[in-house]
Amino acid sequence: KHTAELIAAGEVVERPASVVKELLENSIDAGATQITVAIESGGVKLIEVSDNGSGIEPEDIPTAFIRHATSKIQTGEDLNAIHTLGFRGEALASIASVARVELLTRTETAEFACLYRIEGGEEQPLQPDARGVGTTIRVRDLFYNTPARMKFLKKDSSEGTFVADVVSHLALSHPEIRFKFVREGKTQYVTPGDGKLRSAVYAVLGREFSRDLLDVGDSTLGYRVYGLVTPPRCCRASRSMQYFYINGRYVRNRTMMAALETAFKGVAMQGKFPGGVLLLEMPADLVDVNVHPAKTEVRFARENDVFDIVYHAVKLALTQPGS
């Protein structure tokens, strides 16, 4: 195995949650409206993602697992360049180099589905199989061939929680997709896929959290912020119930957090922190989301503008009648 290949795999595939994120993004890219995620042993033993997206043509299947010809993984310096490219075309290849992968897929025009297996980069011939249009990918025994990496994993329940977070983050920002999440044999939730943020929040975060959420919505100067926040009298929120997105991407961000919390200052609150789901759309050239592709941090060109728009939008929601 080429060293560069393993280094690259290490960058994109850090733990089960990173595999799940890549697979879900592929399902979303494929236009899926229904996605099921199931994990066993925190995702270390098994990750299964099944979608009703476009499927993959049989002749394209092996190619999907090959690093793109334009891949820049040749020198150490190039690895930095890959960072900022977001590993385009790297995910399946990386995953297949460190796990046993099975892909079952069918396109609309295909007469039957195709089953493809690849283990530690060794592929087996395609076999005809059955399923509806879409793709199922099973990733078993993550890091079975790289014990050194296996050692960096936390216990299964913690890995499972990282996976759960990734699924929640995507389910909340894609209310138009029906997400089903099964953890260790138990269905955690099914979102309705009706396009409404409120329904997704209800399914993912529960009835208790979802009661009386206030609508947030405001826009100015190329920025738009929308979402839901807990009402002031809510005492069930915590900082772990604050979800922020920038241009569709889940982020952890101090500026948005400070804006949300500052907007609640002076409002009689029962709990210590407000909760909510806030999505910010803004000019792409004013935000750098590539601080680290596997992480969720961002940098703004104009941090004050971001603070102002979020603060103002939440403040507005709090002064609406009924809040």
Asked whether position 54 contacts ligand ADP by CB under 6 A, the answer is yes
CA neighbours within 13 Å on the CB side: how many for 158? 5
CA gap 118, 45 in Å, rounded: 16
Which span sits near ligand ADP by CB under 6 A: 49-57, 120-128, 232-240, 271-279?
Answer: 49-57
Enter the DSSP assignment of 68: P
Supply the DSSP string of 65-102, one letter for each residue. Answer: TSPPTT--TTSHHHHHHHHHHT-TTTHHHHHHHSSEEE
Whose tokens are 């389910």? That residue is 171
- Residue 26 or 173: which CB sits closer to ligand ADP? 26
Residue number with CB closer to Mg ion (68 or 295)? 68
Q: Name the residue nearer to ligand ADP (CB basis): 36 or 135.
A: 135
Q: Total residues at the site for ligand ADP (CB under 6 A)?
A: 17
217: left (phi over 0), alpha (psi -120 to 50) or beta: beta
Angle at 18 between CA 13 and CA 22, to 5 degrees: 95
Rounded least distance, CB 246 to ligand ADP, Å: 20
Q: Which does 5 bind (CB under 5 to 8 A by kind): ligand ADP, Mg ion, none?
A: none
User: Site for ligand ADP (CB under 6 A): which residue of 5, 16, 21, 22?
Assistant: 22
Q: Are 198 and 211 in contact (CB under 8 A)?
A: no
Please tell me what DSSP assigns to residue 109. T
Tokens read off for 87: 């590993």
By the criterion CB under 5 A, which residues form the site for Mg ion? 26, 91
The interface region with ligand ADP, picked from 26-34, 174-182, 253-261, 294-302 by CB under 6 A, is 26-34
User: What end-to-end distance do the CA atoms of the chain give, in Å?
Assistant: 60
42, two tokens? 């925190």
Closest separation in Å from C-beta 9 to Mg ion = 14
Closest separation in Å from C-beta 156 to ligand ADP: 25
Q: How far is the CB of 56 from ligand ADP (least distance, A)?
A: 5
Of 274, 269, 207, 262, nearest to 238 (Cα)?
274
User: Which range touches ligand ADP (CB under 6 A), out of 20-28, 144-152, 240-248, 290-298?
Assistant: 20-28
Please, which of residues 81-140 interact with ligand ADP by CB under 6 A?
Answer: 88-93, 135
Q: Which residues bind ligand ADP (CB under 6 A)?
A: 22, 26-27, 30, 51, 53-56, 64, 88-93, 135
